[in-house]
A and B are shown apart, each in its own frame.
Chain A
Amino acid sequence: MLCDKYKEALIEAAASGAALPGGLREHVEVCAICGARLACERNLFAAVDAGLHRAANSKVRSSFLPNVKANVATETIPTRNPIPGRAFVCATAALALAVAFLSAPRGAHDKARTEAIIEPGKVPAAAGVAELSLVPERRTRRSASASRAGEQQNVAGTTSDEPEVLFQPEEEEFLKRWYAAVHDSERYAKAVVTDDHPVTPKPLVIEQIEVKDLKIESLDEDSGLARAATK
């Protein structure tokens, strides 16, 4: 049918609501069927628009907004954590690693720390008994953790390089003597050990020994003594 080619154009024209283009308008004026179809399509789109308008513009009840406001007023917004969850995970992992690192090489770590505390090089050469800081235990009784912290302070402390020792008051004299003895022996030992010059042992030279002729005499049995006389 000749009018079929105008079908789509008629629908487009009805949908857009625009004026018909020249050729189509002339045809619609002439063809009653296409004129009726155009009117039908226009009615259909008008009905669609009316239906859409009805569906989209329903009246809001007056109680709606006050209800929402009341609900909003009772609602508490959960405060957003400024530190994201991933940071917590990373921090926990780092903490676990640190704990594992500190606890695993326990022996080596303690040894190193002990050496750091009583390292002889740290003690001044002129340090005598008077420089040893001796603190009676009763005056400085501390908890285990505090003493541990104190040990670290002794290593890195800025006030004194001297190690602090806890002792009973009656043991003070004994400890001073022991320290002096240890200190002195250490100095002597240092002198021997730290001698850098190579020592080449000289071969022992023994001069010729002159052996004289020996005379043998018989022993006197009465005296019970054996005598050897040389002439």
Chain B
Amino acid sequence: MNDTSVIQTRGLTKYFGRQPAVYELNLEVPRGCVFAFLGRNGSGKTTTIRMLMGLAQPTRGTGTIFGCNIEALTPEIRARIGYLTEEHQLYGWMNVTESGAFQAEFFPRWNDRIFRGIAGHFGLKPTAKVKDLSRGERAGLCLALTLAPEPELLMLDDPGLGLDPVARRSLVESMIFLTRKSDRTIFFSSHHLSDVERVADYIAVLDRSVLRACCPLEKFQESVQQVRMQFSGAPPVLPKIPGLLQAVRTENELRVTCAHYNGQTESILRSLSPLTMETVPLGLEEAFISYLGERGEKTFILSELEAQP
């Protein structure tokens, strides 16, 4: 194993019945980075995280966290990992203080100052019952419980799920504040690409159970490019383009999005003799949507429909 890798998987696979939820996942997460794990619903993100945390058994393949087999994580290794589940479930009958006290019993490096700080940041009353907390408050309490043990690795499964923008912003800020101070690693899944864009160093993208991208965030944004071409008439038939993600044609315009846009791609597109040809900058969200959206050519035929009697 690479010494700088906190998480490493080899051929990690999980089947539910006959369907693979995660297929042959090979992943390495360097120490000290913020690693975003992206994908559409059902792509296998949560299953992967649960496998990494030893909560779901892989059908085959192996994985390690801090060099320890994920199927036999020792208490010492668990003490170094903070895990935040997506539904922010806690014991409803406990109050905020009791939740902290319960968690503190187990973690040797429990930092009550951090716990109280985050709880205060989210405006949590110490005597408030967990079942009476709002979703955002519960998320804040979960984050406090996850961060107070001062873990070296944070595994966050869609921490912003269901939160309003304010609560989500608080969560992200807390995350950034605490993790940037030290050599901590954050591995998190999210659908909020603006959050990802703000904090992530690396991203990995799962598409229908298969890992399709794993690279620095900037590299992903560089690799996914969109080119807009104007034609005098109907756009010509598109030749085979390596790495084509999407091609959308209208009456006299063709927009082509592809991965690994390079000189060869550009020369192919220029051979179509467009009137104009320009590269459109894509944000992470557009790049991501293009990357995981429907592949192939699409034609908008709205004008043809309007022309019909």
Whether chain B is bound by chain A comes out as no
Residues of chain A at the chain B interface (Cβ within 8 Å): none
Residues of chain B at the chain A interface (Cβ within 8 Å): none
